[in-house]
């Protein structure tokens, strides 16, 4: 039987080799990585081909980037670079070109392409909260562009699979302060909502007391109402209670940010019948699934590999798009009902 190829495209949610090298030699690190575990679960006749690189953003995937720039030189960086690029120093890689070449080498084979990217787009903007939020539409656009470019490679033999990023480690949030940052953004949004609501109410009172004209009052009310509605898209008023608690504030905002971010990508998947591996519902951020707060450890990598394996072997790629998750208490991945 001819080989069936499974290509990975994205970042360290698929390429966590560097982090496995901290604890193992190269052979053991490769076996315990996400891609290594995926290869073991898939078995013959599947072959896993990596086009994923630690630290890559949506821009990196589309335009190419230097591998290893985000990695500390104090760790096993040069081993990682040698394995991933064949060079011990900086080397620019073009993932989509790599993927196209790999597919072209086996045009009659089936090629599954697992796409997981976007997390690093937010990571690089964590210290600039306004820019992080304003950049969401651009990241969404680039994500969809990546999917479309993959779809254009090799016709029906190419089968994309979207893998949605997981929630990061809630027990260790010291270096990146992701939950702290998101909670601060949520609280700031709630304060703005309060100011907008108050301003809208005051404009109505001003009209009633004949302090401002009805036209001006109507304009203030309309603008305030529109701004209030827009802000609730990001932080619904129903989240206020959770935002004010230390335990839930950051988690709640993380969930809402993921839901907001993936809307156009889910729409694209449903339109084009692309299956999704939903790690946002699979990873419990309070469980031991992580290395260095944001990277999958062996257990986390096993969850990811299991989900990809399940979709490749169980999903009907001639049917509708479905979302797959392994919920708490379940022993296997299950598909949500089609929309």
Helix (H, G, I), strand (E, B) or coil at 196: helix
Predicted local distance difference test score (pLDDT) of residue 232: 60
Predicted local distance difference test score (pLDDT) of residue 339: 47
The pTM of this model reads: 0.87
Helix (H, G, I), strand (E, B) or coil at 277: strand
Predicted local distance difference test score (pLDDT) of residue 329: 85
Return the domain boundaries, the chain. Answer: 4-173+261-335
d(CA 190, CA 128): 19
DSSP readout, 279-319? TTTT--TTSS-EETTTEE-HHHHHHHHHHHHHHHHH--TTS
Residues in the chain: 339
Helix (H, G, I), strand (E, B) or coil at 160: strand
Cis peptide before 79 (omega within 30 of 0): no
Predicted local distance difference test score (pLDDT) of residue 153: 94
Q: What are the contacts of 220-226 at 24+ separation with CB within 8 A?
A: 224/196, 224/197, 224/199, 224/200, 225/200
Predicted local distance difference test score (pLDDT) of residue 235: 60
User: Strand 276-278 to strand 323-325: parallel, antiparallel, or no bridges (unpaired)?
Assistant: parallel
> Is CATH 3.40.50.1110 what the domain over 4-173+261-335 is classified as, yes or no?
yes
**pLDDT truncated to tens, each residue of the chain (339 aa)?**
689 999 999 999 999 999 999 989 999 999 999 999 999 999 999 999 999 999 999 999 999 999 999 998 888 999 999 999 998 888 999 999 999 999 999 999 999 999 999 999 988 887 776 787 789 899 999 999 999 999 999 778 999 999 999 999 999 988 888 878 777 777 777 777 677 777 777 777 877 777 778 777 677 677 666 665 655 665 665 566 666 665 555 777 788 788 889 999 999 999 999 999 999 999 999 999 999 999 999 999 999 999 999 999 999 999 999 999 999 889 999 998 654
Map tokens 């009902």 to a residue. 337
């Amino acid at each position: 039987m001819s080989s069936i190829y499974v290509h990975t495209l994205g970042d360290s949610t698929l390429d966590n080799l560097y982090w496995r090298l901290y604890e193992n030699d190269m052979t053991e690190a490769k076996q315990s990585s996400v891609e290594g575990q995926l290869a073991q679960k898939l078995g013959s006749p599947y072959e896993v081909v990596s086009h994923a690189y630690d630290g890559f953003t949506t821009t990196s995937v589309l335009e190419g980037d230097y591998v290893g720039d985000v990695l500390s030189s104090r760790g096993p960086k040069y081993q990682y670079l040698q394995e991933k690029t064949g060079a011990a120093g900086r080397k620019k890689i073009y993932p989509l070109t790599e993927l196209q070449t790999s597919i072209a080498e086996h045009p009659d084979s089936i090629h599954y392409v697992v796409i997981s990217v976007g997390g690093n787009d937010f990571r690089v903007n964590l210290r600039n909260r306004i820019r992080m939020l304003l950049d969401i539409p651009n990241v969404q656009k680039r994500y969809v562009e990546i999917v479309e470019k993959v779809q254009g490679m090799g016709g029906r033999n190419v089968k994309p699979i979207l893998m949605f990023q997981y929630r990061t480690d809630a027990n260790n949030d010291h270096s990146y302060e992701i939950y702290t940052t998101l909670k601060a953004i949520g609280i700031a949004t709630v304060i703005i909502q309060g100011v907008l609501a108050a301003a809208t109410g005051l404009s109505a009172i001003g009209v009633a007391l004949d302090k401002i004209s009805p036209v001006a009052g109507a304009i203030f009310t309309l603008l305030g109402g529109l701004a209030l509605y827009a802000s609730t898209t990001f932080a619904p008023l129903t989240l206020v209670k959770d935002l004010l608690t230390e335990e839930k504030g950051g988690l709640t905002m993380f969930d809402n940010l993921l839901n907001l971010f993936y809307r156009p990508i889910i729409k694209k998947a449903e339109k084009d019948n692309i299956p999704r591996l939903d790690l946002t519902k699979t990873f419990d951020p309070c469980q031991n699934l992580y290395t260095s707060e944001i990277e999958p450890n062996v257990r986390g990598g096993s969850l990811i590999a299991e989900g990809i394996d399940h979709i490749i072997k169980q999903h009907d790629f001639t049917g509708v798009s479905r979302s797959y998750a392994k919920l708490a208490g379940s022993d296997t991945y299950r598909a949500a009902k089609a929309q």
